[in-house]
């Protein structure tokens, strides 16, 4: 293989003419990577997620390449690309909580090897679909505990507990020894085949892509369990928004009197932003679909706000002011009746 085609999305990005020191390193229960080294007269802007297919396996960039400029028009590139099994280190090994979703990082589970691998498959498919279970060694039941482990480390634990090996073929996970008897025997000394052999530890340190913080199980209110966890976890955040925005937006309409039924007072209520940087809230309004908001006023982050003499339907949005939240705004809402559906409701958070 002299040329490797790097892909970005579904499109070809760059064809690489390999140098002689490019190589593949693939081990059972260890790394599966390719190291690509080449020279080019162009500066190539590789990105995380660029990938290629080598020996029928997909390898992707999970870190930016090393680029060395050796002359005015000469660049030396070193790319380290990892097989799909690397994604296992990005998925936390979680068990189901009280709401039947995967959220508990500290748990005990009684099961056979099949049971634990099924849980690995469920967790990795949360972030990367298409993973399946391969050949699994038959075992007795074991009660195993896990705490803040990713799926890759959990596989290592399972291989150790069940006295076997794990290996990954594309997106298929196997928990069984992979071996082939060649019939040859080697010894490490003069004139006996191998001259040197070194055992190295596989680095289990991975880049943190999701952090699952949990607190104590003590002194929690009785209504805390419906949130899906028996332990203290992150506070909820606005759905489809961030901590700088208001949430649980509702409004009501009050007739202004005088017989002018189309003129009403619009009362808007919300839950204040979680970010303490927010010092005030600006409410801006305008005619429905007009795209402009000619009327605005500022109130406390706690609300509410009342807009008098509004002709319906009307568009409005809410803008946060202060610190790092300055100028962040909600989507545009249209008030057209007295019973609106709450917007930007709070959602539970498991990770950041």
Residues 155 and 204 in one domain: yes
Residues 136, 29: Cα–Cα separation, whole Å: 15
Residues 77, 37: Cα–Cα separation, whole Å: 6
Residues 67 and 149 in one domain: no
**What pLDDT score was predicted for residue 283?**
93
Residue 161 within any structural domain of the chain: yes
**What pLDDT score was predicted for residue 263?**
61
Residue 352 within any structural domain of the chain: no
Residue 98 has pLDDT above 90, yes or no: no
Residues 152 and 243 in one domain: no
Residue 295 within any structural domain of the chain: yes
Query: From the CB of residue 115, how many other CB atoms can be counted at a distance below 10 Å?
Result: 15
pLDDT in tens, 160-216: 999 999 999 889 999 998 766 667 776 666 566 666 666 665 555 566 677 777 788
**What pLDDT score was predicted for residue 225?**
56
Handedness of CA 327, 333, 338, 344 (dihedral sign): negative
Residues 227 and 281 in one domain: no
Residues 78 and 96 in one domain: no
Residues 242 and 223 in one domain: no
Counting the structural domains of the chain, the total is 3
Residue 262 has pLDDT above 60, yes or no: no
Percent of the chain scored above 70 by pLDDT?
81
Residues 56 and 179 in one domain: no
Q: Give the residue numbers spanning the domain of 334.
A: 238-347
pLDDT in tens, 251-260: 887 766 555 5
pLDDT in tens, 277-329: 899 999 999 888 888 888 888 999 998 888 887 777 888 899 999 888 888 88
Instruction: Identify the domain boundary among 84, 117, 140.
Output: 84
Residues 79 and 95 in one domain: no
Residues 227 and 114 in one domain: yes
Instruction: Identify the domain boundary among 32, 66, 84.
Output: 84
Residues 26 and 111 in one domain: no
Round the average pLDDT of the chain to a whole number and report it: 82
Give the CA dihedral 58, 61, 66, 69, nearest 10 degrees. Answer: 80
Instruction: Identify the domain boundary among 84, 102, 120.
Output: 84
> What's the number of CA atoms in the CB half-sphere (13 Å) around residue 71?
6
DSSP string, 51-97: EEEETTEEEEESSPPEEEEEETTEEEEEEEEEEGGGGGGGSB--EE-
With a threshold of 0.85, does the pTM exceed it?
no
For residue 113, the surrounding DSSP H or E stretch is: helix 113-127
Residues 73 and 131 in one domain: no
């Amino acid at each position: 293989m002299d040329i490797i085609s790097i892909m970005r999305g579904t499109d070809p990005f760059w064809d690489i003419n390999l140098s002689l020191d490019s190589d593949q390193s693939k081990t059972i229960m260890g790394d599966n990577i390719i190291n690509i080294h080449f020279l080019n007269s162009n500066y190539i802007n590789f990105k995380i997620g660029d990938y290629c297919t080598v020996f029928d396996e997909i390898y992707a960039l999970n870190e930016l390449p090393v680029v060395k400029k050796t002359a005015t028009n000469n660049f030396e590139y070193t790319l380290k690309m990892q097989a799909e099994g690397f994604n296992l280190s990005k998925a936390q090994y979680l068990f189901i909580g009280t709401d039947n979703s995967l959220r508990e990082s500290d748990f005990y589970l009684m099961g056979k090897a099949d049971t634990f691998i099924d849980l690995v498959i469920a967790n990795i498919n949360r972030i990367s679909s298409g993973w399946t279970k391969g050949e699994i060694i038959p075992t007795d039941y074991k009660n195993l505990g896990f705490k803040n482990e990713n799926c890759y480390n959990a596989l290592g634990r399972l291989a150790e507990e069940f006295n076997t090996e794990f290996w990954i073929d594309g997106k298929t996970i196997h928990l069984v020894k992979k071996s082939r008897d060649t019939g040859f025997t080697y010894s490490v000394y003069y004139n006996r085949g191998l001259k040197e052999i070194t055992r190295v530890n596989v680095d289990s340190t991975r880049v943190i892509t999701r952090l699952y913080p949990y607190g104590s199980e003590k002194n929690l209110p009785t209504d805390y369990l419906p949130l899906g966890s028996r332990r203290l976890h992150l506070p909820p955040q606005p759905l489809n928004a961030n901590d700088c925005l208001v949430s649980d937006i509702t409004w009501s309409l009050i007739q202004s009197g005088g017989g002018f039924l189309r003129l009403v007072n619009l009362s808007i209520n919300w839950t204040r932003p979680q970010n303490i940087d927010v010092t005030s809230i600006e409410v801006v309004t305008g005619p429905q679909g007009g795209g402009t908001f000619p009327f605005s006023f500022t109130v406390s982050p706690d609300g509410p706000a009342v807009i008098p003499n509004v002709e319906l339907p009307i568009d409005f949005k809410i803008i946060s002011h202060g610190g790092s939240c300055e100028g962040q705004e909600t989507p545009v809402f249209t008030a057209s009746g007295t019973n609106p559906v709450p917007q930007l409701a709070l959602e539970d958070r498991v990770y950041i």
